[in-house]
């Protein structure tokens, strides 16, 4: 079906609902509340330099990271709007150690939302794109308050996932399992308008995104792979171009559209990787797969990981499917290029 662009999000969601009668209207409400929260957060993000909202609250979050005021505002806005829909059993947020109950006195719903309210927030002061990442799951428990069990589900159980990227142009990108669709916020009418219907990521890109400052802490396998990407070999268009913003949503979104691979490997500094399964890796893995890409921890599909704690971290290799598969072959020691004597780490690939 040819999708008209400039369609408002609310009408697009209704259209999708008509096409997928099995999809209950319940998580449609959640998507609309996420869009409303995004508009409210966007209003402050774009004024961050003008209003006294940049800077730190003086607190630290569960990860020992200093909480930026906009982080807190984003968390509270999403909790208040989503927690009052009556559609949720429980939430989990990067900003809170434990599960986040729905608002007092609200009806218990059938869904769970795991979210990172403002990922990349350390970039706020430098006007670099930052983002909200969300994952919607069906509850597992039958009734009453949702529990940790409802949050700790593998990514393959997600019914919807996506992100908002705040910047020069604020975008909402999401999937409900029927492709990936991008909406651009038009502040003059306060609407997210369909701008990128049916996003497909190239099967192979020529961009790699990683923090090479961690090179010395990486395993030999990771070093061999990145060195290989940087080697000169016209047959596979190497060297790839390095692009790294240091804000997951910005790096992911660019690679989703242009192709390429994002890597945040395990290292001696971060033995389990840095990024979190529930509200970073799993939702972006759902989007990547729905766009024809792939997401792996080097051995397993990210969407198959059954997390045992809310803030569990994972190594993350995410993006164009051919690049992710080649990366896995290097990490598992079975890529043909490893037979070359030049494949030793630091050997120029």
283 lies in the binding site for ligand P6P (CB under 6 A): no
Alpha helical stretches, state H, 239-341: 248-258, 282-290, 321-331
Q: Which is nearer to ligand P6P, 106 or 311 (CB)?
A: 311
Q: Is 69 in contact with 55 (CB distance < 8 Å)?
A: yes
For residue 176, the Cα-to-chain-centroid distance in whole angstroms is: 14
To the nearest whole angstrom, how small is the minimum distance from the Cβ of residue 94 to ligand P6P? 9
Q: Which range of residues in 26-34, 118-126, 158-166, 223-231 is near ligand P6P by CB under 6 A?
A: 118-126
Identify which of 110, 121, 84 has the alpha carbon closest to the alpha carbon of residue 26: 110
272 lies in the binding site for ligand P6P (CB under 6 A): no
DSSP-based three-state secondary structure for 334: coil
* Dihedral class, residue 273 (left if φ above 0, else alpha if ψ from -120 to 50, else beta): left
Out of 68, 77, 231, 247, which residue is the one contacting ligand P6P (CB under 6 A)? 247
Residues 186, 123: Cα–Cα separation, whole Å: 23
Q: Which is nearer to ligand P6P, 132 or 247 (CB)?
A: 247
Q: Which is nearer to ligand P6P, 100 or 248 (CB)?
A: 248
Residues 25-44 that bind ligand P6P (CB under 6 A): none
178 lies in the binding site for ligand P6P (CB under 6 A): no
In degrees, rounded to 5, the angle at the alpha carbon of residue 37 between the alpha carbons of residues 34 and 41 is 135
93 lies in the binding site for ligand P6P (CB under 6 A): no
Out of 25, 55, 246, 333, which residue is the one contacting ligand P6P (CB under 6 A)? 246
Out of 211, 309, 332, 340, which residue is the one contacting ligand P6P (CB under 6 A)? 211
Rg (CA), the chain: 20
263 lies in the binding site for ligand P6P (CB under 6 A): no
319 lies in the binding site for ligand P6P (CB under 6 A): no
Compute CA distances 146 → 24, 150, 188, 286, whole Å.
Answer: 19, 6, 39, 23
To the nearest whole angstrom, how small is the minimum distance from the Cβ of residue 19 to ligand P6P? 34
271 lies in the binding site for ligand P6P (CB under 6 A): no
DSSP-based three-state secondary structure for 17: helix
> Which residues bind to ligand P6P, rule: CB under 6 A?
119-120, 122, 211, 246-248, 274
């Amino acid at each position: 079906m040819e999708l008209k662009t400039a369609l408002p999000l609310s009408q697009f969601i209704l259209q999708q609902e008509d096409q997928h009668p099995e999809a209950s209207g319940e998580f449609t409400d959640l998507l609309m509340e996420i869009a409303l929260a995004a508009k409210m957060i966007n209003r402050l993000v774009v004024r961050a330099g003008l209003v006294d909202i940049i800077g730190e609250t003086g607190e630290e979050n569960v990860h020992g990271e200093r909480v930026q005021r906009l982080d807190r505002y984003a968390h509270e806005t999403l909790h208040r709007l989503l927690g009052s829909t009556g559609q949720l059993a429980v939430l989990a947020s990067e900003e809170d150690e434990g599960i986040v109950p729905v608002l007092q006195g609200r009806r218990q719903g059938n869904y769970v939302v795991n979210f990172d309210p403002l990922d990349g927030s350390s970039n706020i002061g430098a006007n670099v794109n930052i983002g909200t990442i969300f994952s919607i799951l069906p509850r597992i428990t039958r009734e009453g308050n949702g529990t940790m069990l409802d949050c700790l589900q593998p990514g393959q159980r997600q019914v919807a996932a996506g992100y908002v990227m705040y910047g020069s142009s604020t975008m909402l990108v999401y999937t409900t399992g029927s492709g990936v669709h991008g909406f651009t916020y038009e502040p003059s009418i306060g609407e997210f308008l369909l701008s990128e219907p049916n996003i497909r990521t190239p099967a192979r890109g020529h961009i790699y995104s990683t923090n090479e400052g961690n090179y010395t802490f990486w395993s030999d396998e990771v070093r061999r792979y990145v060195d290989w990407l940087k080697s000169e070999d016209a047959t596979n268009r190497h060297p790839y171009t390095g692009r790294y913003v240091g804000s997951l949503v910005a790096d992911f979104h660019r690679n989703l559209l242009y192709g390429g691979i994002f890597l945040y490997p395990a290292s001696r500094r971060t033995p389990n990787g840095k990024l979190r399964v529930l509200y970073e890796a799993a939702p972006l893995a759902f989007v990547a797969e729905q766009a024809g890409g792939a997401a792996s921890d080097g051995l397993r599909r990210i969407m198959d990981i059954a997390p045992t704690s809310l803030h569990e971290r994972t190594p993350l290799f995410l993006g164009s499917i051919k690049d992710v598969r080649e990366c896995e072959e290097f990490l598992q020691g079975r890529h043909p290029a490893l037979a070359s004597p030049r494949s030793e780490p630091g050997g120029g690939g």
